Chains A and B, each alone.
Chain A
Amino acid sequence: MLENSALSPTQFVEGFNAIIEYNLPAVVIEGELAEFKVSKNKWLYFNIVDEQSSVRCFGTVFMLKTPLEDGMLVRIQATPKLHQKFNFSLNLISIMPTGEGALKRSAEILKAKLQAEGLFNNERKRGIPFAPARVGLLTSENSAAYFDFLKVADDRWLGTKIMFCDTLVQGENAPASLLSGLNVLNQLPDPPEIIVITRGGGSTEDLSAFNDEQLVRAIAQSRVPVLVAVGHEVDWTLAELVADLRASTPSGAANALFPDKTSESRTLKKISQNLRTVLLSQIKTTNQELQYAKKKRYDQTISIIQDNQTELAKHQQIIEALNPLAVLRRGYSVLSLNSKPINSIKGLKKAQLINNRLTDGTITSKVYKLEPIKD
């Protein structure tokens, strides 16, 4: 009888939970978020509701992958439980916004928060190295994005080591997978010079991993610059906003990253030609300068010689003026006795023979008379 089979409240709770655990070990529910609250930065409390029902939910903040607010459509995975004191609730395993509206709204809230922190500021963005020798690549192996990126890389450039980590790029586990790949590449002893995270286009839900807060913060903190290329143009994901560089497609990422080898080859030829032209011009100029210097030196030398010749001519004139023979040519003669010049009548005697040197010969004369000059 019912009266004889009464349970205590504790027994009821235990029995109830045992039945629930057996029949509904975990449930997945989609509904609208209501009365969402975070307590002591640790605990989550909210109701998941539809037009007719409201179920209490309980979890921890570590389950929050993205901001949530009342009115959002969410999808939860939880275990139902009747608490001894706190009534019935769903204990969260995971919670994510669902539906384009909720996902976009969640991303907007997170964007505003990260923007306020300065994570998207242009000053934070690092340059992309020219012709990187080592490039990290995070994408799904055998995806179109993987092949597109590598094809364009091979078409454009050579000699690069592409360090590839196979990662999930959509779904619930994608953020953790990308995060893990990013950490592995950053922690390599010889890390890449840049990390490319890329996937093709998709719906808001497909791309939701790229709005995951943990992933976005990890990209911001990455030691290695990051290029994010998610195949679409409208509504950039938060990962693209925080990245050092963004491209719209995997091919676009390879185009942005690698120089074009044909163009480089042309540039090298041009540089070589320019250097040759400059060198020839310098040789010509140097030659001209040398010729000019030589002529100047020659002219200076000639000038010195001419000056010396003029000086020499002057000296010659002086010497010529002092030359005794020049005196003789003017009609004078030199008297001598026994080869000694006579410059006085003293010592001379009458009838003495003296020599008279003229310009063209000598006359021998006899002294006829000696007469001193009276003052």
Chain B
Amino acid sequence: MSAKSQPTKNYRQLSEKLENMVAQFDDPNIDIDKSIELYESASKVIAEMEAYLKQAKNKVEKINKAKN
């Protein structure tokens, strides 16, 4: 297995960020300006996550055990 360039944020961090934004978006009291701002930010996060799903590869690193 060879490593390709790894994204800086891991997928779970991006997913949590997106979840947070979606929760804010669902707030019925949110004003339209904030909605637009959130939509733009969420779209960027989604793009990063989609890039992750296309580019990153798994990498195996062998760890040597300490001798008893």
Contact = CB atoms under 8 A, between A and B. Distances in A.
A245 B60 CA distance: 22
Nearest to B28: A282
B17 interface: no
Given A150-B60, A159-B52, A275 B42 contact: yes
Interface string B29-68: 0101001100100110010011011011111111111101
B63 A160 contact: no
Contact of B1 (A133, A154, A264): A154
B59 A272 contact: no
Interface residues of B, number: 36
B63 A159 contact: no
Interface in A242-271: 261, 264-265, 268, 271
A164 B60 contact: yes
Interface string A217-235: 0000000000000000000
B18 A271 contact: yes
A336 B10 CA distance: 104
Interface residues of A, number: 41
Contact of B56 (A129, A159, A166, A282): A159
Contacts of B59: 160-162
Interface in A126-175: 129-133, 136, 150, 153-154, 157-167
A282 B39 CA distance: 12
Given A150-B1, A272-B43, A159 B11 contact: yes
A365 B54 CA distance: 114
A316 to B, nearest CB: 47
A145 to B, nearest CB: 14
Contacts of A177: 65
Contact of B58 (A160, A264, A286): A160
A299 to B, nearest CB: 24
A282 B36 CA distance: 10
Given A165-B63, A180-B68, A261-B53, A268 B12 contact: no
Determine which residue in A131, A176, A276 has the highest number of CB atoms from chain B within 10 A of its CB, and name it.
Answer: A131
Contacts of B53: 158, 261, 264-265, 268
A185 B46 contact: no
Contacts of A157: 58
A130 B16 CA distance: 10
Nearest to A183: B66
Contacts of B57: 154, 158-159
A293 interface: no
Contacts of B20: none
Contacts of A286: 32
Contacts of A176: 68
A278 interface: yes
Nearest to A287: B32
A131 B11 CA distance: 7
14 contacts: A130-B12, A131-B10, A131-B12, A150-B58, A157-B58, A158-B58, A162-B59, A166-B62, A180-B65, A261-B53, A268-B50, A275-B22, A275-B42, A276-B39
Interface of B: 1, 6-7, 10-12, 15, 18, 22, 25-26, 30, 32, 35-36, 39, 42-43, 46, 49-50, 52-53, 55-66, 68
Closest 3 CB pairs of A and B: A159-B56, A133-B10, A158-B56
